[in-house]
Amino acid sequence: MSVQTWTFLLVGITFALYIGIAIWSRAGSTKEFYVAGGGVHPVANGMATAADWMSAASFISMAGLISFLGYDGSVYLMGWTGGYVLLALLLAPYLRKFGKFTVPDFIGERYYSQTARIVAVICALFVSFTYVAGQMRGVGIVFSRFLEVPINLGVVIGMAIVFIYAVLGGMKGITYTQVAQYCVLIFAFMVPAIFISIQMTGNPVPQFGFGAALNDGSGTFLLDKLDGLNRELGFAQYTTGTKPLIDIFCITAALMIGTAGLPHVIVRFFTVPKVRDARSSAGWALFFIALLYTTAPAVAAFARTNMIQTVSNAKFADLPAWVNNWKDTGLIELEDKNQDGIVQYVADKETNEFVPDRDIMVLANPEIANLPNWVIALVAAGGLAAALSTAAGLLLVISSAISHDLLKNAINPNISERGELLAARIAAAVAVVFAGLLGIYPPGFVAQVVAFAFGLAASSFFPAIILGIFDKRTNMQGAIAGMIVGILFTALYIIYFKFINPEANNAENWFLGISPEGIGTIGMVVNMVVTILVSRLTPAPPENIQDLVEDIRIPSGAGKAVAH
């Protein structure tokens, strides 16, 4: 069967599965809509959390970034994985014990202020919409190549699918759909990686194949070969970094702290029955995430090596079909500038004739390696699963921020449960449409957009949450001031360098040499300093709030210390 037939078959089966699960697990109450009734098993929740968090950026774009950036791309691996350790140890159990549905709910109650709640709602919407733009773009890319439809139509199809199971099933439907999506995406990521690892190194374990010698009889190690190819073409050496150390540190920290402050990930820990289960499900999620994240560097190296050897110095007339297939989507630029009929793939932009989009590397990898058509289609299904799972989680955060935090807790406290559930579904439907528009007009490539979202989460939510748990003295005035200053500083920095003056977007003009992807770390520090200073200069929180902070730090079932 052709790639397109296999894709229609596999994508059709998986979509039918997702919609079937959504219908089976349709939410009948606000608790089921927001937190799946609070009865999800830790292992299932860990799998759903992994799918929720491993977005199109993780599946589609991260290995593509590493394949082009080499060593510098490691910041995404370290940042996103390290953030989960922060989340599991510092936040998940305490937030679960606090017992609120959403992050704005926690901030509103902890800081005894509707203003704090509304600021948190605005931050949640800003972060979530930035993040969801990358997911919808990922959906459009997959559809445009494998179902041969325009990217924008692909985004619309993705919107329709997410609309069905996010609006109908709420968190209950999304959770069990995400379990299925995790199984699809991890299988789709691992199968081609194992195939290519055997093909290139003879080792069936990609993580070991990454550091092994090529099986072409030369005895050359894969990374040595890749370093040599990059040098020949004028690119930076694959295993050597070019970014300033401070920027590497700040991007890694922003991704770590942003992970721990992402509202759609934090809400997952309210879906388990007990506080202990929140920590357990975080551990399971880390295991499920590690399967993909330890494989991604190998996939990046395999794809980069195969692509260079396939394209560089090849005749335009003899290029394999995958090049023209991706060129038709607009994600590969190909031009014979010197009219010699030979592809010049080099670092020099003036003479370079082949420009692949970073987001195609994982999706095109099986085609580049000449794997069977069913494997190519499987990767397409996996990319869709990754993008749709995260998009659904984000849309639920947007929906609950509007219906629960804004409407129920700030505007109309007397609204009935049925009215709140209807409002949540309407908000989710509107959010789907807006998310689709962001996918059609994205502010950057997938992983870059997601990095911005993490920076915004780091600079807005993280200080308010961490100080809310561990510092009794942090008060309403400090939290509000910190969130506003932190997110404004970070957002304005990103907007200036990415949209107002992109020509100035280089290390010479950055503040302290820190890129827009890493500025969230400075925004977080600014937020933290402002929060602490303002809190110390204004009245302490009420006694009941201070007692509440003490209580959420004491493990369930533990008594208070007795003096002897």
Query: What is the pLDDT tens value at each position of the chain, 564 positions in all?
Result: 877 788 888 888 887 887 787 777 665 555 555 555 556 778 888 888 887 777 676 777 788 888 888 888 888 788 877 877 777 777 777 777 776 656 777 888 888 888 888 887 877 777 777 777 777 777 777 777 777 777 778 788 877 777 776 666 566 667 777 888 888 888 888 999 998 999 888 889 998 988 888 887 788 888 888 888 888 888 888 887 777 888 888 888 888 887 766 666 777 777 777 767 777 787 888 888 888 888 988 988 888 888 888 888 888 888 888 888 888 777 788 888 888 888 888 888 888 888 888 778 888 888 888 888 888 888 888 887 777 777 777 777 777 777 777 777 777 777 777 787 778 778 877 877 887 887 777 655 555 566 677 777 788 888 888 898 888 899 999 999 998 899 899 888 888 887 788 888 887 888 888 888 888 899 999 999 999 999 999 998 898 888 888 887 765 544 443 433
Nearest to 181 by CA among 77, 285, 50, 291: 50
- Spatial distance between the Cα atoms of 547 and 112, rounded to a whole number of angstroms: 13
Q: What is the pLDDT of residue 561?
A: 39
- Spatial distance between the Cα atoms of 269 and 272, rounded to a whole number of angstroms: 6
The contacts of residue 304 (CB under 8 Å, 6+ apart) are 67, 68, 226, 238, 361
Q: What is the pTM of this model?
A: 0.77
Q: What is the pLDDT of residue 286?
A: 83
Token pair of 278 as six digits: 């929140």
Q: What is the pLDDT of residue 563?
A: 39
Helix%, strand%, coil% for the chain, nearest 5? 75, 0, 25
- Spatial distance between the Cα atoms of 167 and 422, rounded to a whole number of angstroms: 10
- Spatial distance between the Cα atoms of 417 and 395, rounded to a whole number of angstroms: 20
Q: What is the pLDDT of residue 309?
A: 86
517 SS3 class = coil
Pure H helices in 147-244? 151-162, 168-201, 206-209, 222-232
Angle of CA points 351, 339, 312, to nearest 5°: 55
- Phi then psi for residue 356, to 5 deg, are -85, 145
How many Å separate Cα 443 from the centre of its chain? Answer: 15
Nearest to 389 by CA among 48, 15, 14, 7: 48
Q: List, as one string, the DSSP characters of 173-185.
A: HHHHHHHHHHHHH
Q: What is the pLDDT of residue 347?
A: 80
Contact (CB, 8 A) for 77 and 207: no
Contact (CB, 8 A) for 285 and 179: no
3-state secondary structure 452-484: HHHHHHHHHHHHHHHHHHHCCCCCHHHHHHHHH
- Spatial distance between the Cα atoms of 379 and 60, rounded to a whole number of angstroms: 9
